[in-house]
Homo-oligomer: A and B are copies of this chain.
């Protein structure tokens, strides 16, 4: 009997279709929370702020790489974030060609509000879930995250 293998051993493809279908609501929460903040800051600006927050010291080229845009685009993006008082742009002390990007306090507060909003919306949904399901979701997501790591790309016979 292969009852245990009915799902996972059978077809990752079938599970993928289910995940694909069911992930929509989760994405919607992330999007909805972002919209609450986006009245002041556009989506690309928000991404840029998050990237700067995650890197202790970042230059413009590094930000462009992380954003997946060209340096010229990153320059303009930073212009607006600086003008909005969210980002600080300073000439690097070690290399005067480079600029160092850091968040200004207003930028940090904005990111903190966004995270709080997102978690609050997630919590509101989770509170209505069947007891064990939330734990399943966490475990499933964590396993998914682990399996998605580059190091895990062990080519397990597609």
In the complex, what residues of B have CB within 8 A of residue A16's CB? 119-120, 122-123, 126
**Chain B residues with CB under 8 A of A125:** 144, 147-148
A89 at the interface (CB under 8 A from B): no
Given known A27-B30, A124-B158, A140-B140, contact A10–B145 (CB-CB < 8 A): no
CB distance from A70 to the nearest CB of B (A): 15
Give the number of copies in the complex.
2
Separation of A148 and B8 alpha carbons in the complex (Å): 26
Interface status of A84 (Cβ within 8 A of chain B): no
Interface residues of chain A, those whose CB is within 8 Å of chain B, are 1-2, 4, 7-13, 15-20, 22-30, 108, 112, 115-116, 118-120, 122-148, 152-154, 156-158
